[in-house]
A and B are shown apart, each in its own frame.
Chain A
Amino acid sequence: MLFYVAPMLFIVFEYYTGVGSNAASALITWGIILSTFTYLIGGFAIFRHHILKIANKNNDWPYSAILMATFASFLGMAYLHQPGYQWVLENVYQPLTILMFGFVGFYTVTALFRGSQVRNIHAGVLITCAVLLMLYNAPVGEAIWPGFQTLGGWLKDVPNTGVMRGVVIGVAIGVLATFVRSLLGLETSYLGGD
């Protein structure tokens, strides 16, 4: 816990006093370096998960085999054949990522449409406001009734802005509460189990 709390306190001290700026920057850099080393844990976890899946012939194990083969060939190319690596990156990886985002975009709309429900009064108010704001933003809204512009603008600028500011204050105090709980050793979940 000391390794978490002491740097946190030092960074706060540096922010308000300006003393030890270099040391605070170095601490942040050490944090980044340390978190980079944890990729080893991630790599091990991915290998363990997929190798066990292949070994036990679990559902969809061929996908795990494809993942392992792709991982090995991509890693190999990164060190042994840079042009090939670049080609795969630009012509396979990037288009697949764009495809995934595109797919996810459509999925979002359909899943939201299928999954959204007026489960309580808050969701009811929210969906009503969402419809009004859609009509405010879409040109068709004004064509239906010009009042959607006034109503949507008021919703966006008055209740929405006020609530957002309130939420920001509450969240900032909540973050401080977590800070105090961490300082006093009441919050230890980031260290794992008891």
Chain B
Amino acid sequence: MLVAGRRFELIVLSLICLLMYYFIERAKRGLVPEIRPIPALQAFDEAVGRAVELGRPVHFSTGMSGLDNAFAPQTIAGLSIMKEVASLCGEHEVPMRYTATRSYMIPIAEDIIKTGYLSCGRPELFTPDTVVYVGESQPAFQASVVSYLMDEKPATNFMFGGITAEAVQTLGAGAVAGSMQFAGTARMFYFPFILCLCDYSLIGEELFAAAAAVSGESAQLGVIKGQDVSKFVVLALLILGIILGTMGNGLFAELMAW
């Protein structure tokens, strides 16, 4: 029934999913894990407050990757963070712009931002220009966002999701324009640019942890605990594999091929 070579993988996958489910249920029952504060999330208030003081807008983008490829989980994490930013913008009456590069992101982003504004009783802040679609090409995105950042000089520039090479130009422009910058991705090639060009960064799994923690709900915090315990499971398997492999035992190789 099960495909050969994928059985052990399925067992590990199921174990990790069950661990996460267990910690979610545990958190729901009141055993909420203590999560260290994530500096980037803590600075969101300051970032939006800066926009109020300067009287300038906030820019948000989830980059080129949409929801129809392998980077979808990163885009989803970016959207979760956008929910929080939109509601902070609504609370402080700060105009926000989202630049979309995938057409199906338009209604999603519009809905998130509208809901954020509405939750603070400020639906009138939403305008047709809040979500700008620039086409599906990377140069178009770069040209549009760089031009926006240099002309409008938004107080804060957020970029969370499966971002690609467009981040280099846009974050570079944001740094030159003097915007406070936040960015996060799980794509390794862009970590150096984020670290050098942003005030706050979420790299690798931090992006997913932040997406879960941003709501502050106990069940979501349980997921983060599940992630940490899962890492220990994977580490234990790695150490076991190294020991067995060094001893010349082929058990792990057999398990992987099972």
Contact = CB atoms under 8 A, between A and B. Distances in A.
B133 A114 contact: no
B256 interface: no
B17 interface: yes
B121 interface: no
B159 interface: no
Interface string A145-172: 0000000000000000000100111110
B173 interface: yes
Given A49-B128, A171-B186, A174-B208, A193 B172 contact: no
A170 B205 contact: yes
A interface SS class: helix
Contacts of A187: 76, 80, 211
Contacts of A176: 13, 16-17, 20, 230
B133 A42 contact: yes
Interface residues of A, number: 63
Given A17-B1, A101-B139, A174 B207 contact: yes
A192 B104 contact: no
Given A17-B3, A104-B169, A192-B115, A169 B20 contact: no
A169 B172 contact: no
A126 to B, nearest CB: 5
Interface of B: 1-3, 6, 9-10, 13, 16-17, 20-21, 24, 66-68, 72-73, 75-77, 79-80, 82-83, 100, 102-104, 106-108, 110-116, 118, 128-129, 131-133, 135-137, 139, 142-143, 146, 151, 168-169, 171-176, 186, 188, 191-193, 195-199, 203-205, 207-209, 211-212, 217, 219-220, 223-224, 226-227, 230-231, 234
Given A174-B73, A174-B227, A189-B112, 19 more contacts: A16-B2, A48-B128, A104-B139, A115-B175, A119-B195, A173-B16, A173-B234, A174-B204, A174-B208, A175-B186, A176-B16, A176-B230, A178-B208, A179-B73, A180-B20, A181-B223, A191-B108, A193-B113, A194-B115
17 contacts: A38-B102, A39-B103, A48-B128, A97-B137, A107-B146, A111-B175, A115-B172, A119-B195, A123-B196, A167-B204, A173-B16, A173-B231, A174-B227, A177-B212, A179-B73, A180-B24, A190-B75
